[in-house]
Amino acid sequence: MLSATSCMTGRRASEALQRMAQDQCAIDSSHTSGYVFRPAALLAGSADETLLRGRYGPRALQMAQAVGLIPLLVQLTRLEATESSALPAGQPEAAPSTTYLAVRQRITDQLQLATADIATAAALLDCDTKRATLTATLLTRRENVREKRMTISAITIGAVAIIGASLLNLHERHVAADWLHVAGGLGEGGLGVLALRQKPPRIAYLHGRNPLRDIWERPDQSTQFAPLVWFYLNQPKTGVTGTPRSVAADLRERWEILIALDAVGKRARKPHHEVAYFGEGGDYDAEALTLRATMVGQLETEIRLMNNDLTILLNEIVSPKKGQAPRR
């Protein structure tokens, strides 16, 4: 009865593991708002750049380029200057013009779409991270169960050998008792060697939609992320010392180090098994899945941090330039 229950439990665990490994995250974050707006780079040395850099900070402008707000911000900034200069000195601020309010509304709409794009990309990565982590947990549990069974078997063999040898010694059959001791020792030792030589359990883990691949290969257009997210990830960071590097370049460098360290550790213990982290998928063990979850989690963190720059941009749009009153 106990054996049948254990068999059923093992079968259910195996089925759950297979389902988790095959349950790919079906979230399309590639064209959420790409049909509405596209990133627009600010032309260096242009009159628009001079105008906007006098009004907005570097991080706000970088996000504005990703969201495609440069033409609207140029229009808004000129309207602010025109309407402020038209007021006589000492006169209280007049209500914003209809044109100004229409431009602000269009900017607000695009910022809302940008927020949705970021949230969708983060949801895709969060799903992928949890899927890899849970699959790794189930694989680790399977390996622990196997090791536990081998340990119990070794203890049982040793106990049977000792009890049997003791009974034989009581009947003055010392030679047979000695041989039983030897057999018990060989059995325990054999199970110990077998446990050391066991390969970790693996599972066929597929990821046709692989968010890591675009960061690794750096194509001109991403098939995994919305245009604004991909533009932002590939722009040089602002406000950093030294040579500016993009988020995508930093992520790839970190991943190269993680993969190299993982490969060195595995070669030191057992024959190395290459894992296609950036391909369509393959056979993963628990360590490889944990490493994949770490990389996806790092990417998710960087994308969620886009909300910080989005907030900076919104605050600078709402906040007045020095010498101007706030426009509501």
pLDDT digits (tens, 9 = 90+) for 76-118: 999 888 877 665 555 556 677 889 899 999 999 999 989 988 9
Q: Which two tokens stand for residue 292?
A: 């994949």
CA-closest candidate to residue 148, choices 5, 6, 4 = 6
**pLDDT reported for residue 125:** 92
Average pLDDT over residues 275-279: 84
Give this prediction's pTM.
Answer: 0.78
Domain ranges of the chain: 29-84+95-139+202-318
CA distance 286 to 289: 5
Distances (CA, A) of 143 to 84, 146, 153: 71, 5, 15
Give Cβ neighbours of residue 258 (< 8 Å, ≥ 6 apart). 291, 294, 295
Q: Which two tokens stand for residue 150?
A: 């081998």
pLDDT digits (tens, 9 = 90+) for 171-184: 777 777 777 777 77
CA distance 129 to 127: 5
pLDDT digits (tens, 9 = 90+) for 128-141: 999 999 999 888 88
pLDDT at 6 over 70: no
Cβ–Cβ < 8 Å for 117, 70: no
Counting other chains too, the contacts that 264-272 makes at CB distance below 8 Å and 24 or more residues apart are: 270/199
CA-closest candidate to residue 248, choices 236, 262, 261, 258 = 236
Cβ–Cβ < 8 Å for 201, 285: yes
